[in-house]
Structure 1
């Protein structure tokens, strides 16, 4: 909430999608989506895996597909082949578009040690802008 003013420079969300992520980051991404006023169009599902980059096929299979929208964004660096992700998210007979999101939505520990607070915020804003552009381009228009 304390950096909410930075969200005003992001492109408005104009489509529906489901974001798949790790357990730790899910609540933070949800809060950002909510602060952008898009929580009714974009839902965030956190897997049992704590770190998004470590999500596997098994983690995806444990997701309740009734909660998943027609466009699904998986972490850019998760351990799941694209075709496997498609099979998992279409296993209920519903056709869904599956896309990889940005590799990182924030900087990791090694990177952040050499960056200023403003550099970190700038990186995160660029990453979220990339995510929003993907949602708007590939998602179902609202």
Structure 2
């Protein structure tokens, strides 16, 4: 007779990582403060390279340094930046991507989409609110 195999499934709770999600969102927000898209109309233009970072992070093909370089290339390719990014923005981008990749390595793959959506739409809300304040 075969020995039965038991599997214990634990449900992942996003509340356990909400502080880390908030820290990542804050890092990306600090980075986007230097990105020239304050009065943008679309989510794509408002989020700048961070939207692409979140999209590429889903694939699992990148490490933190490569993904930061990818975002930096997108940033510097924008003609409005004039090929410049300040030190504080670079550090914020690097910190945000590093924290994001660490978090995604530590949580189950089934939670990745939920986490990335929370970061994405939470950051979008913050950036949209700042843009509306800037227009007033």
Greater relative contact order structure (CA < 8 Å, 6+ sep): 2
Check whether TM > 0.5. no
- TM-score band, normalised by the shorter chain? 0.3 to 0.5
Q: Which has the higher helix share?
A: 2
TM-score (norm 1): 0.33
Which is higher, the Rg of structure 1 or of structure 2? 2
